[in-house]
């Protein structure tokens, strides 16, 4: 009985079986690797999708509107009876709000980064850093509410002429929001500067601040530059704060105390309405989106190269 | 020659001044966060009750609620999770474990992901509007919204996966390979289990980002007034599971809040504050969970 249970393989069966198992395993390896290549390639598909959609719809837009008018006209009124298509007011609004935000975010972020990396005691750094990151966790629509219904009324107390909707209140809140972008990347760059440089500076009699400003910051400059650039790109693309708090009229002005529409806010405004698919109004948001995409792309690529340069430095 | 003691004293004073400056900048940031939460609490806390959580939006501010918005948020998040996690983790594994050898392909993907992470969210919305809503004819549905947000947070999942894998020492891989394990066996039996905590942290952060995202969903045409729930996923008849909810129109909490904050009357602003409070409670909670998880992993694992 027991003899019949024991399998009797032909002499060649054993090597054949392991060969089969090996082939099965190799097949599995190949299959899994293929799946992973596909997953990684998916990101390229996304980029291709973005570029395809933006360019094809914007191309349809530029069949009606000349590129020259788009870039040089100073009025943006696509939804009016006699429409004008000059992107300049929207770009100006975007750059103004970004500028206000940067006036807050760059100095504050840099000081926080230097303080955290060179001065703060260990326990403070460990507790404050995660809390600071929470500034990034607040949804932007909540920041919009805060800018419109908390910051703007307070600003109006100091500046009675300030309208409720203004680039100033939106930009200030946006500036605080992007502080962690500036500070955490800059801090990483500062901390990756070798200790030996600081010790050399101390040995020559420099104080902490002197060392930080004259030795550590210059050594970490490309990393700090990358942080600035990514913060700029983030501020340009920010949508909900400006859509809620900066107003909805395109306005070509250099005064941050006025309301103005940004590129992103225009896209939101049109999307909220009921524009027919394929009309010129519909296409105009893609032309605006393409402008936005190219603006941020330039900054992103520059930031990426600065960061890879930093990695090679040490 | 200036007095040495005087120079030292001046340097000390400069250091002290900078310390004050640094701390006041920190206080400015944390104070803003505190003021924001406090402002929401003052405006909205009294509005949060059972009625608010279980009512549909309404023309009357006092009768309005966020039932459809909460349901929509959870439905969209489910799709986002299912879309972003498998693709993101697989792409992360590929880049870290398979694409190590410097090839133009992995370089290209690397640059591409760095760039995707910086694309403004509203541009993803435009892509989804052109591609998902009109080309693929998904309409303004839960499915289109979930996929949009899934694509949006994909870089976060990829980067988190890579960092978690990178933290595993090379000795683990070498030991597995020395015992005859193939690449996939090494990944499946060793690297993935060891990096699970880090990957989970990244997924939580990605979801908290997606839950507060407004602009891309406005762009694909999320409605602001939804007075019904999507069809239930479980039905009484065979085959008991229905995917109709994927095609349902939807609203989510940030869009509901945006709608209320854009109205001129103050009683709707109270609703907006209450919605914001629920929203911020969720995102801050998720972030706190991620921080705690990260902290515990760092404490437990000593390679």
Q: First-to-last CA distance in chain A?
A: 73
Name the burial class of residue A312, with classes exposed (0-12), middle (13-18) and buried (19+) by CB atoms within 10 angstroms of its CB. exposed
Residues ≥6 apart with Cβ < 8 Å to A118: A190, A208, A211, A212, A216
Q: What is the DSSP letter of A223?
A: H
pLDDT of residue B22: 93
pLDDT of residue A13: 45
Q: Check: CB of residue A70 under 8 Å from CB of residue A87.
A: yes
Nearest to B113 among A43, A108, A240 (CB): A43
* Maximum CA extent, chain B: 96
Q: What is the DSSP string of A225-244?
A: HHHHHHHHHHHHH--HHHHH
Q: What is the sign, positive or negative, of the torsion defined by CA atoms of A265, A268, A273, A278?
A: positive
pLDDT of residue B137: 81
pLDDT tens readout for residues B31-59: 999 999 999 998 888 888 888 788 787 77
pLDDT of residue A18: 61
User: Which of B160, B185, B116 is closest to A41 using CA atoms?
Assistant: B116
Average pLDDT over residues B137-154: 89
Lowest average pLDDT, out of A75-79, A115-119, A252-256, B237-241, goes to B237-241
Name the token pair of B296.
Answer: 């515990």
Question: Is residue A9 pLDDT above 60, yes or no?
Answer: no
pLDDT of residue B80: 94
Question: Is residue A312 pLDDT above 80, yes or no?
Answer: no
Question: Is residue A8 pLDDT above 50, yes or no?
Answer: no
Q: Check: CB of residue A264 under 8 Å from CB of residue B215.
A: yes
- Please indicate whether, in this complex, the C-beta atoms of B269 and A149 are within 8 angstroms of each other: yes
Distance, CA of A38 to chain centre: 26
Nearest to B116 among A46, A141, A244 (CB): A46
Q: Which of A27, A30, A34, A36 to mutate to test the interface with B (most CBs of B within 10 A)?
A: A36
Which pLDDT band, with edges at 50, 70 and 90, does A1 fall under?
A: very low
pTM of the model: 0.87
- Check CB contact of B291 with chain A, cutoff 8 Å: yes
Q: How far is A44 from chain B (nearest CA, A)?
A: 7
Distance CA A27, CA B184 (A): 11
Q: Coil, helix or strand for B221?
A: coil
Lowest average pLDDT, out of B63-72, B141-150, B161-170, goes to B63-72
User: Which of B158, B149, B151, B128 is closest to B140 using CA atoms?
Assistant: B128
pLDDT tens readout for residues A284-305: 899 999 999 999 988 888 887 7
In angstroms, the Cα distances linking B139 to A55, A161, A238, B246 are 21, 45, 26, 10
Average pLDDT over residues A129-143: 89
Share of chain A above pLDDT 90, in %: 40
Question: Is residue B302 pLDDT above 70, yes or no?
Answer: no
Which pLDDT band, with edges at 50, 70 and 90, does A4 fall under?
A: very low
pLDDT tens readout for residues A170-208: 999 999 999 999 999 899 889 989 999 999 998 988 888
User: Which of A253, A99, A149 is closest to B35 using CA atoms?
Assistant: A149
What ipTM was reported for this prediction? 0.88
Share of chain B above pLDDT 70, in %: 92
Question: Is residue B25 pLDDT above 90, yes or no?
Answer: yes
The HSE-up count of residue A7 (CA atoms within 13 Å, CB side) is 5
Distance CA A125, CA A114 (A): 12
Q: Which residues of A touch B122 (CB under 8 A)?
A: 237, 239, 264, 267-268, 289, 292
Distance CA B257, CA B70 (A): 11
Q: Which residues of A touch B98 (CB under 8 A)?
A: 33, 36-37
Q: Check: CB of residue A49 under 8 Å from CB of residue B147.
A: no
Lowest average pLDDT, out of A71-75, A138-142, B98-102, goes to B98-102
pLDDT of residue A16: 52
Share of chain B above pLDDT 90, in %: 36
Q: Which residues of A touch B96 (CB under 8 A)?
A: none
pLDDT tens readout for residues A53-70: 999 999 988 888 888 888
Let me know how many helices (H) and strands (E) chain A has, helices first: 15, 0
> Which residue carries 């004008």 as its tokens?
A84
């Amino acid at each position: 009985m027991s003899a019949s249970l024991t399998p009797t393989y032909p002499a060649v069966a054993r090597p054949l079986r392991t060969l089969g198992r090996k082939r099965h395993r190799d097949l599995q390896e190949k299959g899994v690797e293929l799946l992973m290549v596909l997953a990684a390639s998916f990101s390229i598909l996304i980029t291709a999708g973005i570029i395809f959609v933006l360019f094809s719809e914007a191309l349809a837009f530029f069949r009606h509107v000349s590129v020259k008018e788009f870039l040089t006209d100073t009025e943006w009124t696509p939804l009016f009876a006699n429409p004008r298509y000059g992107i300049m007011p929207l770009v100006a609004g975007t750059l103004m709000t970004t500028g206000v935000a940067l006036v807050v975010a760059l100095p504050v972020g840099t000081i926080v980064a230097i303080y955290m990396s060179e001065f703060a005691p260990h326990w403070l750094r460990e507790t404050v850093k995660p809390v600071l990151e929470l500034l990034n966790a607040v949804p932007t629509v909540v920041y919009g509410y805060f800018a419109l219904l908390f910051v703007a009324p307070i600003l109006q107390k100091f500046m009675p002429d300030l309208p409720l909707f203004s680039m100033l209140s939106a930009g200030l809140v946006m500036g605080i929001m992007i502080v962690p972008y500036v500070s955490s990347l800059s801090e990483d760059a500062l901390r990756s500067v070798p200790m030996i440089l600081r010790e050399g500076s101390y040995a020559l009699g420099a104080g902490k601040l002197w060392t930080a400003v004259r030795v550590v910051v210059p050594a970490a400059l490309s990393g700090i530059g990358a942080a600035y650039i990514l913060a700029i790109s983030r501020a340009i693309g920010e949508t909900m704060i400006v859509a809620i708090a900066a107003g909805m009229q395109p306005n070509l002005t250099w005064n941050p105390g006025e309301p103005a529409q940004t590129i992103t806010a225009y896209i939101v405004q049109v999307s909220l309405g009921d524009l027919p698919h394929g009309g010129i109004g519909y296409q105009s948001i893609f032309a605006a989106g393409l402008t936005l995409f190219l603006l941020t792309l330039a900054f992103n690529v520059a930031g990426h190269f600065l960061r890879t340069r930093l990695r090679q430095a040490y | 020659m200036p007095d040495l003691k005087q120079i030292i004293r001046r340097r000390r004073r400069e250091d002290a001044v900078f310390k004050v400056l640094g701390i006041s900048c920190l206080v400015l940031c944390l104070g803003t966060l505190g003021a924001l939460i406090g402002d929401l609490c003052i405006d909205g806390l009294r509005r949060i009750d059972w009625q608010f959580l279980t009512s549909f939006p309404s023309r009357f501010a006092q009768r309005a609620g966020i039932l459809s918005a909460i349901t929509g948020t959870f439905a969209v998040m489910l799709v986002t999770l299912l879309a972003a996690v498998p693709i993101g983790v697989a792409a992360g594994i590929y880049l870290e474990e398979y694409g190590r050898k410097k090839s133009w392909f992995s370089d290209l993907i690397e640059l591409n992901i760095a760039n995707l992470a910086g694309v403004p969210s509203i541009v993803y919305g435009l892509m989804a509007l052109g591609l998902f809503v009109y080309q693929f004819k998904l309409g303004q549905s839960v499915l289109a919204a979930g996929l949009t947000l899934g694509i949006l947070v994909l870089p976060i999942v990829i980067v988190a996966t890579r960092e978690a894998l990178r933290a595993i020492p090379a000795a683990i891989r070498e030991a597995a390979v020395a015992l005859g394990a193939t690449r996939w066996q090494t990944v499946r039996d060793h690297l993935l289990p060891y990096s699970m905590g880090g990957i989970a942290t990244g997924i939580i952060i990605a979801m908290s980002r997606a839950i507060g995202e407004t602009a891309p969903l406005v762009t694909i045409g999320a409605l602001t007034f939804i007075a019904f729930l999507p069809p239930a996923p479980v039905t009484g008849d065979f085959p008991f599971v229905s995917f109709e909810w994927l095609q349902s129109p939807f609203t989510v909490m940030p869009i509901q809040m945006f709608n209320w904050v854009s109205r001129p009357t103050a009683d709707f602003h109270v609703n907006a504050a209450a919605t914001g409070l629920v929203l911020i409670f969720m995102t801050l909670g998720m972030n706190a969970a991620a921080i705690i998880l990260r902290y515990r992993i760092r404490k437990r694992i000593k390679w």
